[in-house]
Amino acid sequence: MTESVVTDHTKQETISADQNRVELCEKNPAEDFLRMDRIPHIWCPGCGIGTSVNAFVRALIEAKVDRSKLCVVSGIGCSGRVSGYLNVDAFHTTHGRAIPFATGLKLANPELTVVVYSGDGDLSAIGGNHLVHAARRNIDIKVVCVNNFIYSMTGGQAAPTTPMGTIASTAPYGFCEYALNLPHFVEACGATYIARWTTFHVRQLQKSMQESFAKKGFTFIEVIAPCPTLYGRRNQYRQGVDEMKMFKEVSRREKDIETRDAEIKPGEKIVIGKFVDRERETWLESMQHHYKEVLGDAYYPYTGAMI
């Protein structure tokens, strides 16, 4: 039986020669969530960002997230381009500021489901202060942080997550700073749900994303992803698949893992899994409880700031 697959942007046709007929298959469900009129996307072959988006969209579908209430907010970077490809209310903000933008969005209309999807540099370097305080306040936003160990959009400069000793365009002889252990950091700040997966672990990643939608409060999922063009190439992983092989080899999922063991050093294991799953009142909940208690009837129950 000879088969050829012809794809246009709306349907896939499987032409089966011996039956001499055309079967119309269901289109990929992920397409429904993408702005297909913006495809082709800007990401390089072998880039891990698209893989994470695939898991994300499947998680949205599985978790039955009400799409009309879903907002995806990004900062600036290759990872920051995610919001622009999703066919939902999408906000591409400024470098590092996706979290405070999302804070305004969520607090002004608590009925929205607000996701922040951005890069490691964006969220933890220039946006680090906002990451601290949104987690501390327990703002009900879902953060997906694509960690490709580098500033990709601008050409492969070192990031706070660049493993010590690896090469970056601004660290041509090797980077000599300690890398930020993101799960440990956000745990200390107060995040209610923390997980880390690599793009090799798509099913687990999708499951974590689903869990995070069901969770209230500040959740943080770190996705370790290859950037063959600007990190891999300079650090012995010529293609995306080489970095994926490394992820497969060095990833360790252990019982009772703790975030303090999640530091990433070159050549050493990468600890993956769910680290934290706990309950804390969100900022809005504690604000509402507190004012009710202190102000009694003088408190005007807050439902949203919309006009």
**Contact between 302 and other proteins per CB under 8 A:** yes
Q: Number of residues interacting with ligand SF4: please give it, by CB under 6 A.
A: 11
Task: Look at the chain and count its residues.
Answer: 307
Tell me if 126 sits within 8 A of 80, measured CB to CB. Answer: no
Q: In whole angstroms, what is the distance from residue 77 CA to residue 94 CA? A: 10
**Contact between 71 and other proteins per CB under 8 A:** yes
Measure the N-to-C terminal CA separation of the chain; round to a whole number of Å: 62
Residue choice 130, 142, 207, 274 for contact with other proteins (CB under 8 A): 130
**Contact between 151 and other proteins per CB under 8 A:** no
Tell me how far, at minimum, the Cβ of 177 lies from ligand SF4, in Å.
21
184 CB neighbour count, 10 Å cutoff: 17
Q: In whole angstroms, what is the distance from residue 102 CA to residue 73 CA? A: 6
Residue choice 27, 41, 84, 202 for contact with other proteins (CB under 8 A): 84
Tell me how far, at minimum, the Cβ of 43 lies from ligand SF4, in Å.
4
Q: Give burial (CB, 10 Å; 0-12/13-18/19+) of 276.
A: middle
Spatial neighbors of 127 by CB under 8 A, at least 6 apart, are 75, 95, 96, 97, 98, 99, 118
249 CB neighbour count, 10 Å cutoff: 10
122 binds, among other proteins, ligand SF4, ligand TPP, none (CB under 5 to 8 A by kind): ligand TPP
Q: Which stretch binds other proteins (CB under 8 A): 48-56, 90-98, 176-184, 238-246?
A: 90-98
Q: Which stretch binds other proteins (CB under 8 A): 107-115, 149-157, 232-240, 274-282?
A: 107-115
71 binds, among other proteins, ligand TPP, ligand SF4, none (CB under 5 to 8 A by kind): other proteins
Question: From the centroid of its chain, how far is CA 107?
Answer: 21
**Contact between 271 and ligand TPP per CB under 6 A:** no
Tell me if 121 sits within 8 A of 52, measured CB to CB. Answer: no
What the block records as the tokens of 245 is: 């092989």
Positions in the binding site for other proteins (CB under 8 A): 35, 37-38, 68-69, 71, 73, 83-84, 87-94, 97, 100-109, 111-112, 129-130, 132-133, 283, 287, 291, 295, 298-307
Positions in the binding site for ligand TPP (CB under 6 A): 76-79, 95, 119-122, 146, 148, 150-154, 159
Positions in the binding site for ligand SF4 (CB under 6 A): 43-44, 47, 49, 78, 148, 152, 227-230
